[in-house]
Structure 1
Amino acid sequence: MEIHPGSKPFASYMAKLVGFFKVIAAVSVVVVGVSACGQEKNDMNQPAALAGTPIVLKNNPASAESVVLGMGCFWGAERRMSELPGVLDVESGYANGDIAGNYEAVLAHERALHAGRAQGRNHAEVVKVTFDPARVSLTQVLARFWESHDPTQGDRQGNDIGSNYRSAIYTQSEAQRQTALKTREIYQQALSAAGKGKITTEIAPLTTYYAAEDYHQDYLKKNPNGYCGLGGTGVKYPAEGGASASLTAGTGAVLAKPLDGKALSFNRQLVVFEAADCAYCKQFKKEVLDHWRSEVPVVLTMSANPPTGWVLEKALFATPTIVLFEKGKEVSRYTGYNGEQKRFWHWLGFQLLTPEQRKIAFEQGTEYPGTGSHLDEKRAGTFVDPITGAPLFRSDTKFNSGTGWPSFFNPLPGAITLHEDNAHGMKRVEVRSASSGIHLGHVFDDGPPPTHKRYCINGNVLKFVPDTAQ
């Protein structure tokens, strides 16, 4: 199992710092798939439900049913299923394993399995969902299940790898099993028609179920900025008339119409894949997109599919995911956003800049004097960051310093940041772009009035935008 930023284990480690919260409701329909969504031990030593023993919840109608489903991390699964009209309650848990039912035991057992030090089946991370058959059918519940994750990935969902993330439907009756098998057959036909792979979802009776730790319950309600899984294939579950059987309320990116590839920039285009109610998506829009000046065109979509006629290298698994397409094909992606603007711009810069530019921008390199761009640029205009497009210097503050580098006596307000630089046995003040954080050059106290400053800048990491077409 991988543990790194963007993965569920990493997200759940961070979740431990948030604190622990008390659960306010139990659940009936279990969506299975053990993730690293937390690290507190479960005090329960006995299974909460066994095969053939219906899960009974208080304050629910006598007709209520429950089903257990595995679709990766239970944080996103819990929210997806709870949005479906007619679902009464959802609870995160662990199911159908041979070990103790708590997060630490599940994570440790998965590591031991991969190292060949253990035998026995691990639990899947699950949500147990209760629904009212008078308002929503099991077929509709399962349609939402199929649409909300990628059931073709085996023991994984996106970057969350391990048998604890397997796709599964754990049933409590023969009628449920038959419905699960029928919906799998129908959805496989839809996937095959869309060029997708074979479904790997396990369909079996529920044998063991443990409720997850309290802080996992309603996790995304208590932590709006928590890990936000996407995971869908973008293929709708077929129904008569062509409508999705999972109803329309609360649907996210998996049901949205793909962008029209012909309407986008074929040579180079950024596409931001979002999801409904994704806090990180809103944060990315506020902190990055609302101030977008980069020359690279960018567009938003709620679909998990690429623009029509274009190609993604692999399925999406989290939002926001920012994909750079060139000539209709994915060349790079940035998955997840947590306020790290400089990290995002660093990623984009590596795609846009030449090797010589990257050496200056990211390794504090210096071009040879007299070799950089814009040394003799005298037109009226603005020198901007080559990645973000943010203004840095006006041309009327540029002067000939005789050093071989473009020099300025004043930056635009808020355009740069200054940093102490003691490299190479010298004491200097480094100049960086405030928007992207890239290295620009250094500032010295031997410039002309009125500032008497000389901002000595590498011309190769500047882009010039004339005031008018020259």
Structure 2
Amino acid sequence: MTNNNEVINTNLDSKSIVLGMGCFWGAEKRLSEVPGVIDVESGYSNGDDVNAGYKEVLGLEQLIKMGLSQKRNHAEVIKVTYNPSMIDLKTILIKFWENHNPTQGDRQGNDVGSNYRSAIYYQTDEEKAIAEETKTVFQEALTKAGKQAITTEIAPLSNYITAEEYHQDYLEKNPNGYCGLGGTGVAYPGSETKQHPRLEASALNKEKQLIVFEAEECPYCVKFKQDVLNTWTAETPIVATLNPQQPEGWKLEKALFATPTIVLFENGKEVSRYTGYNGDKARFWKWLGFRLLTPEQRRIAFEEGTEAPFTGSHLDETRPGYFVDPITGAKLFRSDTKFKSGTGWPSFFSPLESAITEHTDNSLGMSRVEVRSASSGIHLGHVFNDGPAPTYKRYCINGNVLKFVPDKEKE
């Protein structure tokens, strides 16, 4: 722990600066990627309690919100140690301004409270001057872009406390499917930061559109592309962007704070979002399914429900085509494998290869084999051994969780 402006540099060949960018997990990751940065440490700073830890900071913030304490809380911060022969403080502060949103007051994205305030805590007059200078320059750029005023606290460093070990390199040790998002999308004037173009609203489907907000050097964004985006066949259009801003004229309900974040827009307004992806495809598709399916479809798909016989869709559908997953659009059954079973449910003697998965089902006092969609994991029905040749199988499927796509007519 360091108190009352005590210089925290321990290596004569290095310098350090303490910065608050909201939750220190993402801030630590972002600044550690900057060439010339030697180390980034998570900590707490510039609060009244010289012995505070994570629980104390969160507890005090609750008391402050309830009006039960007048104490000043610590900010979650990172101590950035750097080699001044490789990188100067101005360059580090440019990365600071660009990699978070310094206009939000006591919050950063979904994290709300004075402990998440934007801050620069300096140790020398020279550091203070550079902080104030870069703030002025970046404010001009923000104002030109139509953004709000900077709320960043610039003050002398006091009461710096190293955070608990489990907070250090947190996103490396505990990958939870998202990476810190790169701020306002406004570049510091003269910096080499690449600004990615904002999506054009005219090129999108205003009625219903999915947008994947990504970031560079985000492994979870790459994983989402590999697992989901690269094989997208769903009816709902989807597009990915490296710009954190919504299309002009469209509305996000709240600021983005991590990537990948997948947002569903309807009529140009956000109606739902999915933040964080760790390879759990079924969880992602369930999120989307709850937005796209009817209550009856959701009951079947996610609660292993069954429609009443002779009430579902596609019972008499005989046109050439495919029956597909209603969420992912993945092909499940070909119409030429469909037959009349007389049971009241669409029946097939064979699914497409790798389209479904089978699972033991001992519910309702019976031993059956459940059938799920391999792409989304939703419940489809059951398979029995009383079908016709050549497989002698009967895939008894709920019609309400099938979508039929007819073959295109040949010209």
Name the TM-score, length of structure 1 as normaliser.
Answer: 0.78
Of residues 422-431 and 158-167 in structure 1, the stretch that sits farther from structure 2 once superposed is 422-431
Match of 1:57 in 2: 10
Partner of 2:118: 167
> In the TM superposition, what is the alpha-carbon distance from 1:215 to its structure 2 partner?
4.3
Deviations 1:405-463 (A, max 9, x none): 21112222322233444555555443221221212122333322333322221212111
**Amino acid across the alignment from 1:48:** T
Letter in structure 2 aligned against 1:199? I
Matches within 5 A, 1:343-354: 343-354=283-294
Distance in structure 1 (CA, Å) of the matches to 2:37 and 2:329: 47
- Residues 73 and 227 (structure 1), Cα distance of their counterparts in 2 relative to 1, 3 Å cut: farther
1:295 equivalent among 216, 227, 235 = 235
Per the alignment, residue 162 of structure 2 pairs with: 211
Report matched runs for 1:154-193 at 5 Å.
154-193=105-144
Hey, what does 1:80 align to over in structure 2?
A: 30
Which residue does the alignment assign to 2:266?
326
CA distance in 2 between partners of 1:227 and 1:124 (Å): 22
Unaligned runs of 5+ in 2: none
Separation in 1, partners of 2:244, 2:35:
22
* Structure 1 residues 413-452: aligned runs within 5 Å: 413-423=353-363, 427-452=367-392
Please list every run of 5 or more consecutive structure 1 residues that lacks an aligned counterpart in the other structure: 1-46
**Equivalent residue for 1:339, pick from 274, 279, 282:** 279
Q: Which residue number corresponds to residue 458 of structure 1?
A: 398
Q: CA separation of 1:119/1:321 partners in 2, compared to 1, >3 Å: closer, same or farther?
A: same
Q: Distance in 2 between matches of 1:75 and 1:343?
A: 24
Q: Is the 8 A contact 1:86 1:131 kept in 2?
A: yes
Give the equivalent residue in structure 2 for 1:201: 152
Counterparts of 1:103-142 in structure 2, within 5 Å, are 103-114=54-65, 120-132=71-83, 136-142=87-93
Q: How many residues align?
A: 409
Letter in 2 for 1:144: K
Q: Which residue of 2 aligns with 1:311?
A: 251
Q: How does 1:211-230 map to 2 (within 5 A)?
A: 211-220=162-171, 228-230=179-181
**Contact residue 109 and residue 122 of structure 1 kept, 8 A:** yes
Q: 78-87 or 289-298, which moves further after superposition?
A: 78-87
Report if the CA contact (8 A) 2:371-2:382 is conserved.
yes
Native 8 Å contact 1:231 1:316 kept in 2? no
Q: Which residue of structure 2 aligns with residue 15 of structure 1?
A: none
Cα separation, 2, equivalents of 1:322 and 1:469: 35
Higher deviation after alignment, 220-229 or 316-325 = 220-229
Residue 293 of structure 1, CA deviation? 1.8
- CA gap 1:431/1:88 in 2 versus in 1, 3 angstroms: closer
Structure 2 partner of 1:98 = 48
Which of residues 387, 396, 420 in structure 1 aligns to 2:336? 396
Distance, in Å, in 2 between the alignment partners of 1:403 and 1:339 is 38
Alpha-carbon RMSD across the aligned residues, in angstroms, is 2.7
Between the aligned partners of 1:268 and 1:226, the Cα distance in structure 2 is: 25
Counterpart of 1:217, as a letter, is Q
1:197, 1:403 → 2: CA distance? 63
Distance 1:102 1:121, change over 3 A: same
Can you list the C-alpha shifts for 1:139-192, whole angstroms capped at 9, x where unaligned? 332222121112222332222233322211112123333433343344334334
Alignment of 1:18-37 (within 5 A): none
Distance 2:361 2:9 in 1: 66
Partner of 1:410: 350
* Counterpart residue number, 1:374: 314
Give a deviation string over 1:349-378, Cα, whole Å, max 9, x none. 122223332232223333343332222222
CA distance in 1, matches of 2:144, 2:381: 55
Q: Provide the TM-score with structure 2 as the length reference.
A: 0.89
8 Å CA contact retained: 1:380, 1:467: yes
8 Å CA contact retained: 2:176, 2:276: no
Q: Give the drift of 1:335.
A: 0.6
CA contact (8 A) 2:20 2:76 kept: yes
Check conservation: 2:322, 2:405, Cα contact below 8 A: yes
What amino acid maps onto 2:11 in structure 1? K
* 8 Å CA contact 2:109, 2:254 repeated in 1: no
